[in-house]
Structure 1
Amino acid sequence: MPHRLFRGLPALFLLCLACLPLRADTDYPPQVSPIVENRCMVCHGCYDAPCQLKLDAWAGVQRGASKDKVYDGTRLLTANLTRLFDDASDTAGWRDKGFYPVLDERRPQAGVMARMLNLKRQHPLPAGDILPDSFDLGLDRQQQCPKADEFDAFARDYPLWGMPYAMPALSDAEHATLADWLQAGAPGVATAPPGKAEREALRQWERFFNGSSLKEQLMSRYIYEHLFIGALYFADLPDSRYYEMVRSRTPPGQPIDTIATRRPYDSPGTEPFYYRLRPARTTPLAKRHMPYALDAARMTRWRELFLAPQYTVSELPSYSTRVASNPFVAFRELPQLSRYRFMLDEAQFTIMGFIKGPVCRGQVALNVIDDHFWVVFIDPNDQSAQSSADFLAQESGNLRMPSGDSGLLVSLVEWRKYAKNQLQFLKAKMDFIARQVSAEDVAVDLGLIWDGDGDNDNASLTVFRHSDSASVVKGLVGRYPKTAWVIDYSLLERIHYLLVAGFDVYGNVGHQLETRLYMDFLRMEGEQNFLLFLPEAERLKLRDYWYRGAAEHAKKYVLGDSVAFDRDTDIQYHSDNHKVELMDMLKQRQYGAQAARYHVDNALLQRLARQTGANLSFLPEVAFLDVLHKDGRSSIYSLVHTNGFTNNAQLFKEEQRRLPDEDYVSVVSGFIGAYPNVFFQLPESDLASFVDAIAALDSDKAYAALVSRYGVRRSAPWFWSLSDKLRARYAQEQPLEAGLFDLNRYENR
C-alpha cells in the first residue's frame, strides 16, 4: 500500500518498481519533485552524474547506478552506450549493461538510495568551515559506487559520505517526504498529455519534417543533424513543453520507436524512417539546456531557405562515414547560403553546441580555447556565395574531419594528415579570397562582418571558458579580450561536425585526442580571420603575442609563410592600439553587442572589473555574488575569472603556461556559468571592503579568510536556502535559458 503522502494518488497514476518498462511519460510525484531537483539533480544529472545515477528523470532512479565512468580520457576501447531512454528500454536491459538497483522493492529502507540518505542523518557534516580532507571533491575523483551488499563496508569506511554528498543534510521535512516516497516503492506519476493546440503543433511540424520530395528529405536531414541536441519548444503556445528531434521507425500519429545511433549522421538502419518530436523526459539542467523555438515564423523562414530556391537534389547522400561525416560532401546540393543562414539565425545555439551538446562538460574541446574571447561572423550577404560553394566542394577532401575511433598510434598518424590538409586548405582559402577581393573590388573592412541584419542579436557572441566548462552569451561582454574569432561558413560547419555531431563522449582516447588536436586548427583559423581586418604590419606581432612560447610549427597555421595574405585592410584606424580600436568598432556596430542585460552600474564592482593581476588568480572560475540592500531587495552578479596564459597551442603543461599577472575578472549582472564554484552573500554596506579584500589577495590563506567572511561554504546551514534563492532568481530573470546549476564543482577551501 502506498505510504502516507502517496495514498491519495490515484492507483492509475502510480507506476511502481514492478512496472519494469522505463516509462517516458512518467515523472516524480509533485511532493517529491522539488526536493529531488534542488537537492539531488544539482549533482546527479547528465553524463557526469556520479556513478551514472542520473536523477534528472524518474526513469533514472529505476535504472540505478553503474561503477563505469562515462568520462574517461584513458580508455583504449570505445565504451558501451548508456544513454537513458535510448540504449535500453527496461530495467532488465540496464541490468544487462551492468547497472545495479538503488531501490529495494521488498525492503524499501534497505535500498542504496534510502541508506545513503539515512547515513547522512546518522553522520551529519562535521563542525567547522572547511570540510576535512577525507572528502574527495576532485572532478575526476575515484568514485565509490556501493551496491546493496557492499553498503555496510562503505558506511564503515566512509561514514560521512551520506547523501547529499559533502553538502548539508536535508531538512527533517524533506527527509521525511523522500523516506515516505521510497517506502512506498518510489512511485512515479503519469505526465499530462499535450493539449489540443500542442497536438496540432506537433502534427504540423512532423508533417513539415517528413515531406516526400528529395529537397524536403535533404532539408530535414540537415536540420536534424544540427538540432538533435536542442530543447525544442513551440514559441506560439504558452507553457509549451520541450521536445527532442529524433528518428523513428514509426510515422507521425503512432507511438515513437526511437532509432538510437551513436552519432546523428550514422545510418538509421531501416527504410523508411521518420523525423519525430519526442517529449523531453529530463529536467532542464543549465549545463546542457539549449532551448530552440519552433513557431510559424521559423517554418516560413526554413521554407524560404531550403524549399523556395531553385535547385535540384539529384539523389540523397549515403550514410557511409566518408560521406555522412563530411557536410561539404553530404549536403553539397543544399544551397550553401541557406545552410549558413540557418546556423547564423541562432548562432548562439550553434556555438553553444560544442560546450553544452553531447558532452555536458567540454574538457576535450575547451582546453584549446582562451578563457575569454569574442566571436563575430562573415556576412552571408555575399554575392560570391555560389563560387564559395564550388570552392568548398573542391576542397572537401582537405576538410575531412575525425569521425571514428582510431587507436592512439593511428590517431597520431592521422593527425599529420589532418595537419597537412589544413595547411593546404588555408593556402587555397587565402588564394581564393585574394582572387575574390581583386576580381570584385571588395573592400577588406567591416562590411564583410555580419551585423545581424539590424535585428538579430546573434551577430556577436562572447565565450567564457571556466576550466573544463564554458558559457556562450549574446553580445560583446566584458573588457576587450586578448583574442577574437571571425567565423565563416566552413569554419562554423566544421566546429559543429567535429565537436557536436561527430563527437562521441563514449569514444576512446584516440578519438578524443584527434578531436582535441583538430580543434587547434579551427581556433587558429578563427583567429587568423580576425587578424586580416588589422593593418598588415600589425598582424604577425599580435599573432606572436597570442602564441608566446609556442613552437614555430604551431604559428605557421596563423598567417605562416604558406598561408599569408598580403592584402592590407581598408579600415581606417586612428589610434595606436588597432586591436582595441577594431573591437570597439565592432561593439558599436553589431546589433545587440552592448548586451545591456549584463551591464553593471555599481562603481565598486566596476572597479573590481578593471583590476588585473596575480591577486585575482586566487579566485575560482565562477562565483555568484548576492548583494543585500537595506530595503530588502538583492542584486545578483557573476564574477567570471579569466586566467592568463602564454598560449593555448599545447595539449599539456597548462600550469607551466600560466601568467597570473594577466588574470582579470568579468563582473556581470545576473548569471553566467552553469557550475558555480562559490556563493558570496553580503550587505551592500560591506561591498567596498569585499572589493578591497580581493585587491589584497596574496595567498590561499587570504582567500580562505575572504570566503570565511563573505562566502557561503558547503557546510553552511543556510547553504540550501541561498542555493534555492539563486535558482529561483535565475528562472525569473531568464525563464527560457534557466536550468538547474550543477554543484559538483562547488569548492572547499
Structure 2
Amino acid sequence: MPYRFVVASTLLLLSSLCMAQGPAPAISYTRDIQPIFTEKCVACHACYDSACQLNLGSGEGAGRGASKIPVYDGERSKAQAPTRLFYDASGKAAWQRQGFYSVLDAQGSQAALMARMLELGHRTPLQPNAKLPSEIVLGLSRENMCPQPAEFDAYAGAHPKEGMPLAVTGLTDQQYQTLQRWLASGAPIDEQGLAPSARESLQVAQWENLLNAPGARESLVARWLYEHWFLAHIYFEGGEPGHFFQWVRSRTPSGQPIDLINTRRPNDDPGTQVYYRLWPVQGVIVHKTHITYPLSAAKMARVKTLFYSGDWQVTALPGYGPARRANPFETFEAIPAKARYQFMLDNAEYFVRTFIRGPVCRGQIATDVIRDNFWALFQAPEHDLYVTDPVYRGQATPLLAMPGQNDDVGSVLSLWLAYRDKRNEYEALRRDFYAHAPAPSWSSLWAGNDNALLSIFRHFDSASVTKGLIGEVPQTMWLFDYPLLERTYYQLAVNFDVFGNVSHQAQTRLYFDLIRNGAEQNFLRLMPAGSREDFLDDWYQNSGKFKMWLDYESIDDDKRSALKLDPQGPKKDFVNQLLTRYGELNAKPDPINRCNGAYCSRPNIDPALQDAEQALSRLASRPAAGLKVIEQLPEATLLRVQTASGKREFYSMLRNRAHSNVAFMLGESLRYQPGLDTLTIFPGILSSYPNFIFNVPADQVPAFVEAMQAVRDGASFDRVVERWGIRRSHPQFWQYFHDQTRYLQEVDPLEAGVMDMNRYENL
C-alpha cells in the first residue's frame, strides 16, 4: 500500500478518535511542537550539517524546510550562496527562492513530507538495544538523501527502514500523535522571538553605545572588536539563564529594529554606514555552535583601559576588500599591538575554540592538520617582539598576509607558493630577531589567568578545547605569540567561508599546516639547544621529512634556552616544572591520566567515584599495542557512572590516534600508527559529538575495566557493548543521550546545549 494512503488513514483515525473524545485543545508550536523537535530531532537537525539543511531548532528553521544543496562540498569550483538561518533570508517564500522546499505543507491529497517521514519511522521500530541493520548507513559516509514530496514513495520503497527519526528509538505514541495532528492542521507556527530582560536591555544599550561612539579611533576599535566577537554567544553578568546574544552589523542605530547587514564574512564591505548591535540568539542552543563569551562592567572597564587609555591616534580609517581581509595586522596597525594581544589573552580559550572547535560543525577541512591531542601555551606580551619592538613589527607586518581571498581555482598552486614563501620569510625574520633577544625563560610564558593552559583534542573531523592540562604528556605542544594567534583566528574563523569553493578551502587548509609548524617551532625554542632537531625528526617522520625540506623554514637549534631542563627528557621535565610553577592556573588537574602515586583519582569527591576513577586509570595512557580494546573504540566515547546514592558523573574516553606526521592534506591513513594509539579518560564532556555511551553502575566499574582489558577482537568487544552499551535502539536512548545536557546544566550551565548525534556509531 503506498505510504500516502497509510498516512491518510492514520490521520483519519486520529481525527475520529479526537472527535469521539471531544475537541482537542489547539496545538501550540512553542509549547507542544518545539519541545518534541528539541528532544528527538535537533540532535541531527541543527547547524550546517543538518541532513538536507533541515534545521529544527526553531520555527524559522522548520518553516524554511529542506534543500538538496549540500553545504559541505570540498570539490565545488564556485562558491555557493550562503544559507545561514536568520541571516540570509527570512520567511518561507524567501527561502524557497533559494532552493528550499517545504516539509510541513500538505501536497494536494498527500500529507506533508514530514508526516510521511514520521509515519515511515513509526511503522518500522527498531529491535530494542540491538545493532542496526547493516544497510542503514550512518555518519558522514551517509549519502545526503533529500527527497522532495513527489519523490517520497520512491525513497520509502528503497529505504523502508529509514524513516524519521533516523535509526534511533523514535517518538512516543503521544509525541507522534501530537506532531501528526499539528501537521494535519496546517502546521501553524506561533513562535515568538527571544527578548532581553530589562537588566539585559540596559547592558545591551551600554555596549552598543560603546561600539557606536563617534570618532575615528572609536570606529577602528569597534570594527576590530566586532570582528573578534562575531562568533560569540554573549552572556551578561546577572542575565537571564539561557539568554545569549550575538554581535551583528545593522543599517539602523540602537533603539530601532535591527536591519541586518548579511555579508559573507564579518570583514566584507558593508556598503553603508554600520551600527554594531546585539541580537538575541534565537532557537535551541546546541553545544557544537555554543562558544560563550562574558560581558560585564569589569569587561567594559578592561576594554576601555586597553584601547582608550593611551594617546594613540587614527589618521585615516582603513577600507575593506581582499587586501584588508588578508592582512589584519596592516588593517588595524594603528591600534597598539599590546592592547590587541592582551585582549585576546584575557579570553584565550574562547579564541582558540573559535578556530579549533569552530561553528562550522564539520571540521575535517582543517582538523587533519593537527595532532589528536596537544597542549597550547601563550607567549607573554612583554616577551613578544611584535608587541615590544617597533622595528621588528614594521618588518614583520607585510609578511603576515594570509591566502584565501582569491578563490580562482587555476591559481591555487601559485597562490600557495607565494604565501608559503612570504610566511617562511617571516619565520626567518622571527628566528633572526629572537636570536638577539634574551633567552626564553619561565617569564616568557603568559600566566595571567586560567586561560593560559589549554588542552586540545581532535576527534577525526571535530575538535575540542578545554582549560587546563588534560591527558598524558602529549607528543607536541604549541606556543602562540600574537602574530600566530591573530593569524590563526583570521584564517580559520573570520576569513573562512564554509560556502567557499575548493580553491578557498585548499588554501585555508594548506596555510593552517604552516601555522601548526610555526606554533611547534615557537615551543621548541624553549627546549635545550641541540635537541630541537631531534624533536622535529620525531614529529615529522617518514614523508614528514620531505615536507620539512620542501615547505618549512629551518629552526634555530643553536640559540640557548634559559630554562634548566633535564637533558635526558627535557619535554617531560618541562611539563613537571610547568605543573609545579603554574599549578594554580591549571583548571583541570588530571590524576587519572598522569597518575604519579598510589592514588589515581580526584580528591574530595564521592568515595564510590574515587574507586571508579582508580579503576579507570588502568585504561588511561596505555598504547593500543598493549590494550587491544582501543582498536575497537571510536574517537569520543562517554562513560556514565552512577553511584548507589543516585549521584552520577560523565567521563570522556577519547581515542588519541597516532600518526607519523600530520603535514599533508591527503593520505592520512597512510601515516596512521594504530599501535601507538592511547586513551584519555577524564571527568566531563569533552566533545560535542559523542560516538557512543556506556552506562556503568559505580560498583561495576572494576568489572567494566577488566572486560575492556580482556577485549582482543570485535566479538569480545560486542560482549562489553551488550552488557553496558547504550545503542541507538536502546529503549531509554534519549534519556541517556540528553542526560549529557542535563549534566552540563548542573556543572557548567553556561556551556550547556543539545549534543550532536550525527556521529553516534552502530557498535
Question: In the alignment, what sits opposite 2:560?
Answer: 568
Question: In the alignment, what sits opposite 2:447?
Answer: 451
Q: 1:240 to 1:200 in 2, by over 3 A?
A: farther
**Structure 2 counterpart SS, 1:395:** helix
Question: Which stretch has the larger CA shift, 468-477 or 544-553?
Answer: 544-553
CA contact (8 A) 2:325 2:495 kept: no
The whole-number CA distance in structure 1 between the counterparts of 2:136 and 2:738 is: 24
Question: In the alignment, what sits opposite 1:522?
Answer: 515
Question: In the alignment, what sits opposite 2:233?
Answer: 231
Q: CA deviation at 1:32?
A: 2.7
CA contact (8 A) 1:525 1:557 kept: no
Question: In the alignment, what sits opposite 1:425?
Answer: 426
**TM-score, with normalisation over the residues of structure 2?**
0.91
Question: In the alignment, what sits opposite 2:716?
Answer: 702
1:580 and 2:582 matched: no
CA contact (8 A) 2:139 2:760 kept: no
Q: CA deviation at 1:612?
A: 1.8
**Structure 2 counterpart SS, 1:189:** coil
Residues 158-237 of structure 1 mapped to structure 2, 5 A cutoff: 158-184=159-185, 185-191=187-193, 193-237=195-239
Question: In the alignment, what sits opposite 2:305?
Answer: 304
Q: CA deviation at 1:127?
A: 6.2
Question: In the alignment, what sits opposite 1:607?
Answer: 618
Flag structure 2 segments of 5+ consecutive residues without an equivalent.
1-14, 593-600, 602-612
Question: Which stretch has the larger CA shift, 94-103 or 572-581?
Answer: 572-581
CA contact (8 A) 2:385 2:392 kept: no
Tell me which amino acid in the other structure corresponds to 1:604.
A
Question: Which stretch has the larger CA shift, 278-287 or 390-399?
Answer: 390-399
Question: In the alignment, what sits opposite 1:357?
Answer: 358
Question: Which stretch has the larger CA shift, 169-178 or 42-51?
Answer: 169-178
CA contact (8 A) 2:470 2:589 kept: no
The whole-number CA distance in structure 2 between the counterparts of 1:592 and 1:414 is: 45
Tell me which amino acid in the other structure corresponds to 2:225.
I
Give CA-to-partner distance per residue, 1:438-468, whole Å, 9 cap, x none. xxxx24211100112xxx1100100000001
Q: 1:296 to 1:667 in 2, by over 3 A?
A: same
Q: CA deviation at 1:576?
A: 1.9
**Structure 2 counterpart SS, 1:607:** coil
Question: In the alignment, what sits opposite 2:96?
Answer: 95
CA contact (8 A) 2:530 2:557 kept: no
Question: In the alignment, what sits opposite 2:659?
Answer: 645
The whole-number CA distance in structure 2 between the counterparts of 1:109 and 1:193 is: 38
The whole-number CA distance in structure 2 between the counterparts of 1:628 and 1:355 is: 32
Give CA-to-partner distance per residue, 1:234-255, whole Å, 9 cap, x none. 1233436111100001111100
1:492 and 2:485 matched: yes
CA contact (8 A) 2:66 2:100 kept: yes
Q: CA deviation at 1:631?
A: 2.5
Question: In the alignment, what sits opposite 2:543?
Answer: 550
Q: CA deviation at 1:7?
A: 4.2
Flag structure 1 segments of 5+ consecutive residues without an equivalent.
15-27
Residues 219-368 of structure 1 mapped to structure 2, 5 A cutoff: 219-239=221-241, 241-270=243-272, 272-368=273-369
Give CA-to-partner distance per residue, 1:9-32, whole Å, 9 cap, x none. 8xxxx7xxxxxxxxxxxxx51233
CA contact (8 A) 1:328 1:393 kept: no
Q: CA deviation at 1:130?
A: 1.3
CA contact (8 A) 1:375 1:462 kept: yes
Give CA-to-partner distance per residue, 1:8-57, whole Å, 9 cap, x none. 68xxxx7xxxxxxxxxxxxx512333321121000000000000001122
Q: CA deviation at 1:557?
A: 8.4
Give CA-to-partner distance per residue, 1:182-216, whole Å, 9 cap, x none. 33424223246333222211111111110111111
Find 2:495's aligned residue among 479, 496, 502: 502
**Structure 2 counterpart SS, 1:459:** coil
Question: In the alignment, what sits opposite 1:47?
Answer: 48
The whole-number CA distance in structure 2 between the counterparts of 1:220 and 1:228 is: 12
CA contact (8 A) 1:405 1:507 kept: no
Q: CA deviation at 1:735?
A: 0.5
Give CA-to-partner distance per residue, 1:445-492, whole Å, 9 cap, x none. 11100112xxx1100100000001000000111110111001000000
Aligned length: 722
Give CA-to-partner distance per residue, 1:148-178, whole Å, 9 cap, x none. 1111221122111111101011111222232
Find 1:726's aligned residue among 708, 715, 740: 740
The whole-number CA distance in structure 2 between the counterparts of 1:586 and 1:81 is: 45
Q: 1:173 to 1:684 in 2, by over 3 A?
A: same
The whole-number CA distance in structure 2 between the counterparts of 1:674 and 1:6 is: 39
Q: 1:715 to 1:5 in 2, by over 3 A?
A: farther
Cα RMSD of the aligned pairs, angstroms, is: 2.3
**Structure 1 counterpart SS, 2:640:** strand
Tell me which amino acid in the other structure corresponds to 2:713.
S
| Aligned sequence identity (%) | 38
The whole-number CA distance in structure 2 between the counterparts of 1:461 and 1:6 is: 54
Give CA-to-partner distance per residue, 1:100-120, whole Å, 9 cap, x none. 000116879811112111111
The whole-number CA distance in structure 1 between the counterparts of 2:452 and 2:618 is: 29
CA contact (8 A) 1:434 1:565 kept: no
Q: 1:6 to 1:195 in 2, by over 3 A?
A: farther
Question: In the alignment, what sits opposite 1:136?
Answer: 137
Q: 1:566 to 1:74 in 2, by over 3 A?
A: same
Tell me which amino acid in the other structure corresponds to 1:446.
W
CA contact (8 A) 1:358 1:505 kept: no
CA contact (8 A) 1:457 1:591 kept: no
CA contact (8 A) 2:651 2:684 kept: yes
Question: In the alignment, what sits opposite 2:475?
Answer: 482
Q: CA deviation at 1:692?
A: 2.2
